[in-house]
Every structure is written in structure tokens, then in C-alpha cells.
Structure 1
Amino acid sequence: MDFWSTIRVLLRRWYIALPIFVVSLGLAGGVYLSVSTQYESTGTVVLTSPASGARVPAGEVPTGEKVNPLLAFDGSLTTSAQIIIQSLKDPAVAKQFDGVEYEVGDGQLSGPFVVVTVTAPSAEAAQRTVAGLLERARQELTARQESLQAPESTYIRADPVISPTPAEALVGGKVRFAAVALVLGFIACLTAAYGYESFSQRRRPGKAGAVPDRLPRARDAGPVGARR
């Protein structure tokens, strides 16, 4: 059926469609209220090399010239940022922040950036987790340079670019779930209205092709033979 035929059916069977639609609205509202609100916070750091460079002159250390291995090649800061990103994605690290969801990446930025985005059941938990992950990134960076025995004066640093942002409520997921419930309810409304309409049409008497209740009597049909 076309649009106007649908409208006519709904108007004719309003006493069936309206209650189902009201129930659908209630169901959508219930779904919206039952889905918990999630909160999102983000933070960003950038890796920077020391002003003194990647090397310590031979005269300043007893063992001769020392270099930070993480700064000994082209694109070293970007590579170090990727190392930190992958370390934060480690399941062992994720287990320490259980109960929240987070993403770590470069934020599609050009440079050695580490971007952390956290989704949590509360605003406080979201901001706290972002701060914890950024601090974990700094600790991981320091630990790797210590294990490589890099001179402390050549350490790469993780400087803040964006501190953990105030967490914002994410209502998009709740709206989507409520919209799905409303659409399903509307489909049920149309199905019920059309179903009752079809049932009523089948029960309606006087359709073309129906067999009469009784045949006409013989005298009504006229004389069989011609009159003389």
C-alpha cells in the first residue's frame, strides 16, 4: 500500500493502532531510562627530545660518549610514541583499569603524540583513568630509557598537550536504543492495524463472485413453454 492508503487504514483502525503506539512510546522511554549514561574524557601528551641532544660528550662521562638509543635514528620520537601506544594497549595494562573502556592512539595527528580517550560509567572515573594512563605512559617511557642505560640528561619527555578534559555525558547510545524500540513498536502498530483490516475484509459479505443463499423459484422464472 502507498502512504495515503496506510494513513487511511490507521485512521480507520485507530482504536487498535493508538494503544499499541502509546505502549511503544512507554517502551522507548523505559529503554532510554534503563540504559546507563556513559562519560568520555580525553588527554594528550607529546614526546620531546632534550635541548642538549641525544648524546653526552666523552669528557662528561667516565665511559666515553653515551647516546640515547631511542634518539639514534630518524623519526625516533614518532617511533617512541608508537612504542608507548602499543604498551598501553597491552591486556595486562587494560586489566589494571578494569571497568572502563579506553582507546590509545596518535589521534591522526602528525607528530609524536599519544592520545588517550576513556569511556566510563561516571565522569570522575573517566577523568581519573585518563590521568592514570598518561602517567603510565610517562613511567613506561622512563623505564624503557633506563633499561637501555641512556644518560638521564638525554631522556625523552612526555609533555602535556591536553590535560584530562572534563568528562561529557554520551547520550547517543541511549537515544539509539530508544529509537530502535520506538521503530519496532511502530512496526507492531502497523502490523496490528493491517492484520485487523485484512481480517475484517475477509469477513465482509457481498463480495463479487459470492454464491446466492437460494435459487429463484420456478414460478418466478416464467412459463417453460410458449403460450398459445
Structure 2
Amino acid sequence: MDFWSTLRVLLRRWYVAVPVFAAALGLAGVAYVSVDPQYESTGTIVLTAPSSGARVTVGEPTPAERINPLLAFDASLTTSAQILIETLRDPATVERFTGDSEDALSYEVGNGQLSGPFIVVVATSRTPEGSTRTVAEVLDRAREELRSRQETLEAPESTYIRSEPVISPTPAEELVGGKFRFAAVALFLGLIAGLTAAYGYESYQQHRRRRGSSTTKDRSTKAAAGKAPDGDERGNGEATVTMRSVPGTSRPTPGDGNPQ
């Protein structure tokens, strides 16, 4: 049906549609209130190279040059940042920060679509403190992993790549998008139910009217086809009139012998 037909049905069957729509609003409100709130916090660090460079000369009397392997190739800082990102995405690492915590739900780590050696952590939690704490712990884990790898590679400490905070863990903000989505779905389903109820009731009433009209017509036909009183019965239900003679008194005729 088009818009105006739908509107006419809703106006005609408002006493069916309005209660269903009211129930839909109530259901949407319940869905919004019942969904647990979630909070999000973000933190960002950037990797920097030492001002002295990736090489250092050590040893006497024959000096030898030592180099930090993580700085020995082009785009080394960006590559090192990507290595740390993949390490923080490891399921075992994720389980460490979210599996045993009562309020931490999840976190995501990446470069934030920034060009450069950035590491961006976004944590989601049931409490504001949980999301902020998770961001801080994951960034600390990134710093530990960076230092551990350079120690394992025996890079000179003066050539260590360092991390500098760009955005400290931000105050947690409540995410309302998820609650709105649940409420919107509940409201949409309620509106569909209201339209269905109105159309269903309209169809039921039309069916009853058609059935009542058909029953009345059948009764009229049967009544018209009944027997006619005091008459001959024909196939079309009409009666015929029978003419009968009535005996009367005879008049005398002249010349009967009566005296003049």
C-alpha cells in the first residue's frame, strides 16, 4: 500500500495501533536502560630515534662500531612500531589485559591511520577507571617490549629507540552508540508490530463484513424462493389466480304462462 492508504488504515484503527506503538516506546526505553554502559579511553605514543644516531664507536685501542639493528634500515621507526603493534595484538597479550579483569572488555591497537611510528591504543571497559587503566597498562607493555627487544639484540643503550607520549590516557567517555542501537532496533520492531496489528485487524473486519453481507444475501434469496399462499406453485416462486364461477338466481323469461 502507498503512504496515504497506510495513513488511513492507521487513523481508522488508531485504537489498535496506538497501544502497540506505546508498547514499542516502552520496549525501546527498557532496552536503553538495561544495556550496560561502556566507557572508552585512548592513548598514543610515538617512537623516536636517538640524536646520536644508530651507531656508536666503542673499544680501545682498536675502536669498533656497533649499531642498533632496529635502526639499520629505511623506515626503521615505522617498522619497529608495527612490530610492537602486532605483539600487542597477540591473543595471549590480549588475554593478559582483558581475561582476568572484571571491568575490562577489550582494546584495539594500531597506528590510528597516522603516517609515522605511532602506536594508538583504544580500550573499552564497563567502568571509566577500567578503560583508562587498560590504556596505560597496554602502553607500558609496549615500552617494555621495545626495550626488551633492543636488549636481546645487544644494541648499545645510547642508540635505543625511545617512546614519547603524544596523548596520555584520556578521561573515559561513555559510549551511547550501542545503547541507542539496541533501543532503535526495539523501536523499529515495535513499529512493525503496530503496523501489522492495524492491518491485521482491518483485514479481519473486512472479512467479517464480507461474510455478513453474503449471509444476508443468501437469506433474502431463500425467502424470495419460498411458497406463495393459496396459489399454484411455480418454479419461479410466483402464484397463479384461479377463476371460479359463483351460482346465481335465474330470471323469468316472457311467455312462461304467467298471467299478464
* TM > 0.5: yes
Alpha-carbon shift at residue 64 of structure 1 (Å): 2.2
Give runs of aligned pairs for residues 173-184 of structure 1, distance below 5 A: 173-184=178-189
In the alignment, is residue 161 of structure 1 matched against residue 166 of structure 2? yes
C-alpha distance 60-13 of structure 1, shift in aligned 2 (>3 A): farther
Give the aligned partner of residue 64 of structure 1.
64
Give the aligned partner of residue 14 of structure 1.
14
Higher-Rg structure is 2
Task: Tell me which stretches of 4 or more aligned residues in structure 1 moved more than 3 Å.
Answer: 58-63, 210-213, 217-225
**Structure 2 letter corresponding to 1:26:** G
**How many angstroms apart in 2 are the aligned matches of 1:194 and 1:100?**
44
Give the aligned partner of residue 32 of structure 1.
32
Corresponding residue SS for 1:115: strand
Give the aligned partner of residue 246 of structure 2.
none
Alpha-carbon shift at residue 70 of structure 1 (Å): 0.4
Give the aligned partner of residue 5 of structure 1.
5
Give the aligned partner of residue 124 of structure 1.
129
**How many angstroms apart in 2 are the aligned matches of 1:28 and 1:57?**
70
**How many angstroms apart in 1 are the aligned matches of 2:60 and 2:154?**
16
**Structure 2 letter corresponding to 1:135:** D
**How many angstroms apart in 2 are the aligned matches of 1:24 and 1:100?**
30
**How many angstroms apart in 1 are the aligned matches of 2:85 and 2:44?**
12
Alpha-carbon shift at residue 148 of structure 1 (Å): 0.2
Give the aligned partner of residue 43 of structure 2.
43
Aligned residues: 226
**How many angstroms apart in 1 are the aligned matches of 2:240 and 2:167?**
107
**How many angstroms apart in 2 are the aligned matches of 1:159 and 1:118?**
19
Summarize deviations over 1:137-176 as a string: whole Å, max 9, x none: 1000000000000000000001111111111111011001
Q: Unpaired runs of 5+ in structure 2?
A: 99-103, 229-235, 242-260
Alpha-carbon shift at residue 191 of structure 1 (Å): 0.8
In the alignment, is residue 82 of structure 1 matched against residue 87 of structure 2? no
142-151 or 14-23, larger mean C-alpha shift: 14-23
C-alpha distance 51-61 of structure 1, shift in aligned 2 (>3 A): farther
**How many angstroms apart in 2 are the aligned matches of 1:91 and 1:60?**
47
**Structure 1 letter corresponding to 2:205:** S
216-225 or 69-78, larger mean C-alpha shift: 216-225
Alpha-carbon shift at residue 100 of structure 1 (Å): 2.1
Which of the numbers 196, 199, 213 marks the counterpart of 1:194? 199
Give runs of aligned pairs for residues 98-113 of structure 1, distance below 5 A: 98=98, 99-113=104-118
**How many angstroms apart in 2 are the aligned matches of 1:186 and 1:121?**
31
TM-score if structure 2 supplies the norm length? 0.80
Corresponding residue SS for 2:213: coil
**How many angstroms apart in 2 are the aligned matches of 1:62 and 1:113?**
39
**How many angstroms apart in 2 are the aligned matches of 1:62 and 1:108?**
46
C-alpha distance 62-141 of structure 1, shift in aligned 2 (>3 A): farther
Corresponding residue SS for 1:102: strand
The share of aligned pairs that are identical, in percent, is 62
Structure having greater relative contact order (Cα 8 Å, sep ≥ 6): 1
Summarize deviations over 1:69-103 as a string: whole Å, max 9, x none: 00011111110000000010111111111132111
**How many angstroms apart in 2 are the aligned matches of 1:60 and 1:75?**
32
**How many angstroms apart in 2 are the aligned matches of 1:58 and 1:152?**
12
Give the aligned partner of residue 150 of structure 2.
145
Alpha-carbon shift at residue 122 of structure 1 (Å): 1.0
Alpha-carbon shift at residue 19 of structure 1 (Å): 1.4
